[in-house]
Amino acid sequence: METTNTPDAGKQSGLELASSTRDAFRETFGSEPLMVFSPGRINLIGEHVDYNEGVVFPAAVDQGIYVALGLASSGKDCHAITRNFGEEFRFKPSGLKALPDGGWRNYVIGVVAELEKRGHPVAPFNLMIAGNLPQGGGMSSSAALENGIVYGLNTLFTLGLDRMDMVRVSLDAEHHYAGVQCGIMDQYASMFGVKDHFLLLDCRTLEAEAVQIDLQGHELFLINTRVQHSLASSTYNERRALCDRTAAALGVPALRDASLEALKALQREGRLSAEEFAKVSYVLEEMARTQAAAQAIRNQDLQALGALLFASHQGLAQKYEVSCPELDFLVEQARQAPGVLGARMMGAGFGGCTLNLVRCDASEAFTRHTREAYRNAFGHDCDILRVHLGRGTHVVESEAGYALV
């Protein structure tokens, strides 16, 4: 069987990618697929807050991952193909373990394994994946992939899971098979996204308010550094471990419940170094900024919102230390540019994208100047993407009569 190698799949529009992936599935497997779209996400503010049980402000976007699924016609193996990398993978849908350096394969088998653990084993199936999210760009391509697979399998095999059940499957797949101890924000935003809204999500109660933002003649841009990060091999897990240790030392469930005074007391006792104090105090400050950002949106005060974005980046770069020269350069360019209200790095850090709030009539000059300045500084291009807020994971179409969940 010949696989479909389409490394430029990420450059296709959503409609083009959905159509070409459906056609490729038909040609490869000889059957009509169930098509699922699972979006990436942005986070307006509230970075590295979700795993500390704080409040975050994400939204689903209109770019993401298309998943085509169907029952295997014969054999005992599942057959998965990723069009972006031109790679394929066969596996039995039971007794699965994480693969060393498994990459995208671990997201696939992680979801299947977590379903089996919950008493929902699945029969052999065929799977084709294609996405137009920048890999490592901080838009949660891994959460989009996990959500797309679990949503598709839930529909294909009528497992009866609700959206929150599926979010937890995706999160456990990330933890146990990809090795990233992330919080719940990425999977939640991708699954529950509301078109044209941000979600003010309480990561402890999992209650969310859909907040529509009036951009008042402004638009949101992502600027991708093309510097890719690997969360499992970066210091991401170290940051989370520090936060967990500090909460335990204070005798509270999470840093959400800590106070700055309590952190200062730990430092005076010699139980937090100056560097550790900077990192955990950033978390408390970012939680406060998130609530302030929500109030700024309610007040339609975009100037205040922009200032909070710049302050968020300063904290991430100087206190939490998860930025990189490319991200800092882009934020500084934004700070100096006319018509830019705010900017910050977005995502776990060490690469990926900046999020920029830009006046519409200044956007062309801003993006043109930023491209040129970045190329001159680093010797390669950045990618600039205008952001549109979309809906959460859903079935694209189904000629076989599958129902939306």
Cα distance between residue 288 and residue 49, in whole Å: 10
Residue 395 has pLDDT above 90, yes or no: yes
Cα distance between residue 388 and residue 196, in whole Å: 7
Q: What angle, 0 to 180 degrees and rounded to 10, lies between the N-to-C axes of helices 185-192 and 163-173?
A: 140
> pLDDT by residue (tens digit) across 274-293?
999 999 999 999 999 999 99
Q: What angle, 0 to 180 degrees and rounded to 10, lies between the N-to-C axes of helices 260-268 and 236-250?
A: 90
Residue 333 has pLDDT above 90, yes or no: yes
Q: Sign of dihedral through CA atoms 376, 378, 380, 385?
A: negative
Residue in this structure with the two tokens 């950033």, named with its chain if needed: 282
Question: How many Å is the Cα radius of gyration of the chain?
Answer: 21
The kind and range of the H/E element at 183 are none
The CA–CA distances, whole Å, from 357 to 289, 344, 349, 363, 402 equal 16, 9, 19, 9, 39
Q: Which fold has domain 211-386?
A: Alpha-Beta Plaits (3.30.70)
β 353-359/340-346 pair status: antiparallel
Q: Give span(s): CATH 3.30.70.890, the chain.
A: 211-386
| Close Cβ partners of 208 (under 8 Å, ≥ 6 residues apart) | 188, 192, 199, 200, 201, 202
Looking at 186, 257, 328, 381, which residue is catalytic?
Answer: 186
> pLDDT by residue (tens digit) across 121-164?
999 999 999 998 876 666 778 999 999 999 999 999 999 999 99
Q: Give span(s): CATH 3.30.230.10, the chain.
A: 7-208+392-397
Q: Which CATH number fits domain 7-208+392-397: 3.30.230.10, 3.40.50.300, 3.30.70.120, 3.40.50.1000?
A: 3.30.230.10
Structure tokens at 324: 């990189």
pTM assigned to the model: 0.88
Number of residues that this document lists for the chain: 405
What mean pLDDT do residues 67-88 have?
A: 93
Instruction: Determine the number of helices (DSSP H) and then strands (DSSP E) in the chain.
Output: 11, 13
Burial class of 59 by CB neighbour count within 10 A (0 to 12, 13 to 18, 19+)? buried
**Amino acid at the residue 148:** G
What mean pLDDT do residues 68-90 have?
A: 93
Q: Is 186 a catalytic residue?
A: yes
| Close Cβ partners of 182 (under 8 Å, ≥ 6 residues apart) | 50, 51, 171, 174, 175, 231, 236, 348
pLDDT band at 12 (very low <50, low <70, confident <90, very high): low
Neighbouring CB atoms inside 10 A of 274's CB total 7
Structure tokens at 348: 């776990």
What mean pLDDT do residues 355-383 have?
A: 97
Least confident piece of the model among 172-186, 250-264, 389-403: 389-403
CA angle 275, 280, 285 (to 5 degrees): 120
The CA–CA distances, whole Å, from 34 to 115, 223, 296, 399, 404 equal 19, 33, 42, 8, 11
> pLDDT by residue (tens digit) across 17-52?
999 999 999 999 999 999 999 999 999 999 999 999
Residue 183 has pLDDT above 90, yes or no: no
CB 313 within 8 A of CB 333: no
Cα distance between residue 350 and residue 376, in whole Å: 20
What share of residues in the chain are helix, strand, coil (percent, to 5)? 45, 20, 35
The long-range contacts involving 258-265, CB below 8 angstroms and separated by at least 24 positions, are: 258/284, 259/284, 260/284
